[in-house]
Amino acid sequence: MRLNNKVAIITGAASGFGEGIARRFAKEGASVVVADINFSNAKKVSSEINAQGGKSEALKVDVSDSLQTKNMIENSIKFFGKLDILIQNAAIGMSPTPLVETSEEEFDTLFKVNVKSVYLGALHSVPVFRKQGNGGVIINTIS
């Protein structure tokens, strides 16, 4: 198993592409944190991973919030003792409307979730990777 003894956080992992990543990482031996704003689905995915012999925990996280992102990383370390991989997959889309009909609030929300969250994830994980002394991996994707 290629990811034995690795700990990975996957955001947006309660469904879709993120769920697939979480399940695959668990099959490859990683301990997986299923992080999502939809906690009930995150718990379901995490429970299924555990039932199939994997190691997983679920966290409710709004990735556009700095404190929640920091807590996600700290809690993941409490669960599994370290952090090796952060996959930032959480994203939202906009309804297909012309730009001039998009509210500033709607745009701000989209920007916070899809762009600011990438910064926040790096901001709070890179110091952990440095402190651990063995590097780490950050993968940013939007599905």
59: tokens are 């966290």
Where does residue 61 fall: left (phi above 0), alpha (psi -120 to 50 degrees), or beta otherwise? beta
89 assigned to some structural domain: yes
121 assigned to some structural domain: yes
51 assigned to some structural domain: yes
15 assigned to some structural domain: yes
Containing 51, the helix (H) or strand (E) segment is helix 39-51
CB 6 within 8 A of CB 84: yes
Domain that holds residue 24: 7-140
The CATH number of whichever domain residue 114 belongs to comes to 3.40.50.720
Q: What is the pLDDT of residues 56-108, one digit of tens each?
A: 999 999 999 999 999 999 999 999 999 999 999 999 987 888 889 999 999 99
Q: What is the pLDDT of residues 16-39, one digit of tens each?
A: 999 999 999 999 999 999 999 999
Q: What is the pTM of this model?
A: 0.94
1 assigned to some structural domain: no
2 assigned to some structural domain: no
**Amino acid (1-letter code) at residue 112:** K
Separation of alpha carbons 39 and 37, rounded Å: 6
What total number of domains does the chain contain?
1
**Three-state DSSP state, 124:** helix
113 assigned to some structural domain: yes
